[in-house]
Amino acid sequence: MAAKIRPSWILGAGAIAAAAAILPGGSAPASGGGAVAPVANEISGAPLAGPTATPAPTAGAQTLARIASAAPVASPAELAEPAPAPVATGEAALAGQVDLSKMELVGDHYEVALPDG
């Protein structure tokens, strides 16, 4: 019985062949020779030269100059608004308006008549 060739074996063999062609020391390119010429890291010709100019001030520098020349700013304590008066809640809201001696038991709680009815 002959061995069955599986698709994974074919894909694996193709991957090995591709890796061998890419890696140094692998099979030579079809153009022949076996060695790849190194690429020079140089550019021939005269260096580029342009006019030398002073850089324009950036927006950040302009902002800093504007802030430095501005009038002094008041401190946060001077700018803060006064705190509002505390709101009376609970018994304090009714202080002086309710006569507790006139409380009446109604069911399971007490009631007191307010002065305005």
Its pTM surpasses 0.85: no
At position 57, the amino acid (one-letter code) is P
Terminal Cα-to-Cα distance of the chain (whole angstroms): 110
Looking from the CA of 115 toward its CB, the CA atoms found within 13 Å total: 7
Counted residue by residue, the chain has a size of: 117
Task: State the pLDDT at residue 25.
Answer: 60
* pLDDT per residue of the chain (117 residues) written in tens, 0 to 9: 566 778 888 888 888 888 887 876 655 455 555 566 677 777 777 777 777 777 666 777 777 777 777 777 777 777 778 878 777 777 666 777 778 788 899 999 988 887 776
**Residues with Cβ within 8 Å of residue 65, at least 6 apart in sequence:** 57
Task: State the pLDDT at residue 29.
Answer: 52
